[in-house]
Amino acid sequence: TDLSKIRNFSIIAHIDHGKSTLADRLIQHCGGLTLREMSEQVLDNMDIERERGITIKAQTVNLRYTAEDGETYHLNLMDTPGHVDFAYEVSRSLAACEGALLVVDAAQGVEAQTLANVYQSIEHDHEIVPVINKIDLPAADPDKVKAEIEDIIGLPADDAVLTSAKSGIGIAEVLEAVVKRIPPPVGDREAPLKAMLVDSWYDPYLGVVILVRVIDGVLKKGQGVRFMQGGTQHLIDRVGAFTPKRVELPELGPGEIGFITAQIKEVEQARVGDTITTVKGGATKALAGYKEVQPVVFCGLFPVDAAEFEKLRESIGKLRLNDASFSYEMESSAALGFGFRCGFLGLLHLEIIQERLTREYDLDLITTAPSVVYRIALGHTKNEDAKVIELHNPADYPDPSRIEMIEEPWIKAVIYTPDDYLGSILKLCQDRRGIQTDLTYVAGRAQVTYELPLNEVVFDFYDRLKSISRGYASFDYEQIGLREGDLVKMSILVNNEPVDALSLIVHRAVAEERGRGMCERLKDLIPRHLFKIPIQAAIGGKVIARETIAALRKDVTAKCYGGDISRKKKLLDKQKKGKARMREYGNVSIPQEAFIAALRMG
Ligand code: GTP
């Protein structure tokens, strides 16, 4: 295709501002869909994505559009994931485009994720076309939103396109703006092949499908290609595009976006951000920006019914086929039996995997406390040199006397909120050891920036933020590296036995409060037994909080109807002994819900 007739663009928007609806309308306008197909939103093709309205995997649609100038253009519309956990995938999708539509809800205005994504887009030198959507709403105020786009983002918004994706208003104007305002790609057909691996996913019929953006050269069926970062070689067996239906093409030239397959079995072999070139006469320098994504949040997943362990193993294996950013290894816990230690890109990613296992694979699971990755410097011992380890699981916490330093990951969080809720939000951040670095007001809304330890955010920060702001605050974060912290392992002992699934790494300053909260909650969550149950939180050997569940007292003497006193006494003695024995065994049954409920912070 003639480069001047290609336009590659993505849509950036805050969750719920109407990105998928607008994408559907653009596809429909270009004739890409039948009416029957319109009954489903095509871009979000996973159930959970649809139900939660969250876009997880980037997808691209190739459209033909005949513009007012009479020319037919090839438009590649890239869908980008809408959530912070998938920031790297967003950045690669943006790198594959020359422009972006910035969709802002005409009633809600600019929000945190709009900002994060738009700054990335600006960094990629994109031409950005503001689109103010939902103008049909009674509360729509396009002029106010225009002013916000100019004041907050610093983009001219005079010629923003006004749309109602829902009722189909302004769709042709959006397409004209794409053609007129977004520049065509540049590339050299004669140069050695360079294509960026934008995304990959597992398809049961085709194996791994790879979404690519060709920069220079040509991709063809039958070509031998090399993945420059991954170091593997493959033979291309299919080349094509999505319209949104999958169609095969003879080749993909410079500037074009499409897919290839090459008999690859695992997505792990097709990492986002890699550069694809030909085996013979290929490029020598890979494209910039490749990054291997690493899981940042870990937790244990255990079957409620131990007999389901094999089923869990199989199901996790299947999910992993499609998601290279998720990791797992076997783990055993004294309290929970056999399960898996899993790594995720963030909390939402964790929830998605957990939900898919529950729903698609029909598994009942117990999830242990999410933990971040700590870096620990250990001093030398008689038998071992000093070394640095990474800790993914509080259960593997080393001997404290050997620890010289612990570092924990920190994030920079940007929170955007109506100022009514600002006070409670500042308190929440403060309670979570946050350091405020910026606070600005624009049009009755506050934008506040905090540096926060990730381990304070992984529990329920997002839920709390949403509940104290009644859903109005939005949140975005990026990692900013490791910092030293005064961190300790807090163990929870139930009936004097440590329960490994409940142990946590916490900051010393908040340990006591967290320990107390946890003991209090467990006291309510664990039913009474025939004996007294102490619940303790401890650091090393030192107990920092304690609660006791009173014994259920079976009054055996009641049966003796006044009988002789020595018999009564004998019975009581027997009962006491029985209690002592039970206590010795540490035989407490902890209900499954207790594990998750205990971890919610008060
Ligand atoms: P994510 O995929 O989560 O990023 O959401 P999204 O930005 O794709 O939003 P989506 O298209 O799913 O729309 C969110 C909600 O807004 C849906 O209930 C839509 O029906 C509604 N919506 C989208 N466009 C319009 C519009 O122009 N007017 C009105 N009134 N509602 C709209």
Residue 443 confidence class, pLDDT cut points 50, 70, 90? low
Ligand 1 within 6 A of 165 CB?
A: yes
The pLDDT value given to residue 27: 86
Question: Is there a contact between 60 and 39 (Cβ–Cβ < 8 Å)?
Answer: no
- 408: tokens are 């924990």
502-509: average pLDDT: 88
Name the more confident of 337 and 335: 337
d(CA 202, CA 46): 13
Question: Is there a contact between 270 and 453 (Cβ–Cβ < 8 Å)?
Answer: no
- Rounded to the nearest 10 degrees, the angle between the axes of helix 592-599 and helix 508-525 is 150
- Residue bearing the CA closest to ligand 1, atom 3: 54
Question: Looking at ligand 1, which atom is closest to the CA of residue 24?
Answer: 11
d(CA 273, CA 292): 8
Question: Is there a contact between 102 and 35 (Cβ–Cβ < 8 Å)?
Answer: no
Decide if pLDDT at 54 tops 60. Answer: no
Mutate to test the pocket of ligand 1, among 14, 16, 55 (most ligand atoms within 8 A of CB): 16
- 21 CA distance to ligand 1 middle (Å): 6
d(CA 518, CA 502): 9
The pLDDT value given to residue 388: 94
Per residue, the 3-state secondary structure of 29-40, as one string, reads HCCCCCCCHHHC
The pLDDT value given to residue 189: 94
Question: Looking at ligand 1, which atom is closest to the CA of residue 49?
Answer: 2
- 22 CA distance to ligand 1 middle (Å): 8
Ligand 1 within 6 A of 164 CB?
A: yes
- 103 CA distance to ligand 1 middle (Å): 10
**DSSP H or E segment with residue 265:** none
Ligand 1 within 6 A of 114 CB?
A: no
- 19 CA distance to ligand 1 middle (Å): 6
Name the more confident of 396 and 81: 396
- 135 CA distance to ligand 1 middle (Å): 12
Ligand 1 within 6 A of 13 CB?
A: yes
- Residue bearing the CA closest to ligand 1, atom 5: 16
Question: Looking at ligand 1, which atom is closest to the CA of residue 44?
Answer: 2
Ligand 1 within 6 A of 11 CB?
A: no
Decide if pLDDT at 52 tops 60. Answer: no
Range with the poorest average pLDDT among 75-84, 345-354, 593-602: 593-602
Ligand 1 within 6 A of 137 CB?
A: yes
Q: Which residues pair with residue 466 across a beta bridge?
A: none
Q: Scanning the structure block, which residue is given the tokens 């640095």?
A: 388
Reported as half-sphere exposure (CB side, CA atoms, 13 A), residue 65 has a value of 31
Ligand 1 within 6 A of 18 CB?
A: yes
d(CA 224, CA 219): 10
Ligand 1 within 6 A of 146 CB?
A: no
Please state whether 471 falls in left (phi above 0), alpha (psi between -120 and 50) or beta. Answer: left
Ligand 1 within 6 A of 367 CB?
A: no
- Residue bearing the CA closest to ligand 1, atom 23: 18
- 52 CA distance to ligand 1 middle (Å): 12
d(CA 156, CA 149): 7
d(CA 556, CA 554): 6
Q: What is the pLDDT of residues 523-580, one digit of tens each?
A: 888 888 888 889 999 998 899 999 998 888 765 555 544 555 566 666 566 555 544 3
- 93 CA distance to ligand 1 middle (Å): 21
Ligand 1 within 6 A of 368 CB?
A: no
Q: What are the angstrom distances between the C-alpha of 220 and each of 35, 249, 262?
A: 33, 9, 11
Q: Residues within the annotated binding site?
A: 16-21, 133-136
Ligand 1 within 6 A of 15 CB?
A: yes
Name the more confident of 508 and 35: 508
If you ran DSSP here, which 8-state letter would residue 60 be given? E
Decide if pLDDT at 417 tops 50. Answer: yes
Q: 303 — phi, psi (to 5°)?
A: -70, 140
- 244 CA distance to ligand 1 middle (Å): 20
Three-state DSSP at 76 gives: strand
- 526: tokens are 């664990």
The pLDDT value given to residue 291: 77
Decide if pLDDT at 586 tops 60. Answer: no
- 558 CA distance to ligand 1 middle (Å): 67
Interface ipTM above 0.95:
yes
**DSSP code per residue over 460-514:** THHHHHHHHTTT--EEEEEEEEEEE--EEEEEEEETTEE-GGG-EEEEHHHHHHH
Question: Is there a contact between 479 and 454 (Cβ–Cβ < 8 Å)?
Answer: yes
Question: Looking at ligand 1, which atom is closest to the CA of residue 164?
Answer: 27
Question: Looking at ligand 1, which atom is closest to the CA of residue 55?
Answer: 2
- Residue bearing the CA closest to ligand 1, atom 19: 18
- 249: tokens are 């093409």
Ligand 1 within 6 A of 19 CB?
A: yes
Average pLDDT, the chain: 84
d(CA 228, CA 275): 5
d(CA 484, CA 488): 12
Ligand 1 within 6 A of 166 CB?
A: yes
Q: Which residues pair with residue 82 across a beta bridge?
A: none
579-599: average pLDDT: 55
The pLDDT value given to residue 50: 46
Is cis: bond before 498, omega within 30 of 0? no
d(CA 4, CA 8): 11
Dihedral sign (CA 258, 264, 268, 269): negative
Ligand 1 within 6 A of 489 CB?
A: no
In sequence order, the 6+-apart residues with CB closer than 8 A to the CB of 20 are: 41, 43, 44, 53, 55, 79
**Cα angle 425-428-432, degrees, rounded to a multiple of 5:** 140
d(CA 592, CA 570): 38
The pLDDT value given to residue 436: 97
Ligand 1 within 6 A of 134 CB?
A: yes
Q: Residues within the annotated binding site for GTP?
A: 16-21, 133-136
The pLDDT value given to residue 502: 82
Mutate to test the pocket of ligand 1, among 133, 166, 169, 476 (most ligand atoms within 8 A of CB): 166
Q: What is the pLDDT of residues 355-402, one digit of tens each?
A: 888 888 888 888 887 888 899 999 988 888 999 999 988 888 998 889
Question: Is there a contact between 81 and 199 (Cβ–Cβ < 8 Å)?
Answer: no
- 316 CA distance to ligand 1 middle (Å): 32
Name the more confident of 336 and 404: 404
Q: What is the pLDDT of residues 459-501, one digit of tens each?
A: 778 778 878 888 778 787 888 999 999 999 999 898 888 887 7
222-241: average pLDDT: 94
- 122 CA distance to ligand 1 middle (Å): 24
**DSSP H or E segment with residue 257:** strand 257-261
Decide if pLDDT at 225 tops 90. Answer: yes
The structure's pTM equals 0.72
Q: What is the pLDDT of residues 85-129, one digit of tens each?
A: 677 788 888 899 999 999 999 999 888 777 777 888 888 899 999
Ligand 1 within 6 A of 101 CB?
A: no
- 601 CA distance to ligand 1 middle (Å): 33
Decide if pLDDT at 40 tops 60. Answer: no
The pLDDT value given to residue 101: 95
Parallel, antiparallel, or unpaired: how do β-strands 6-13 and 99-105 relate? parallel
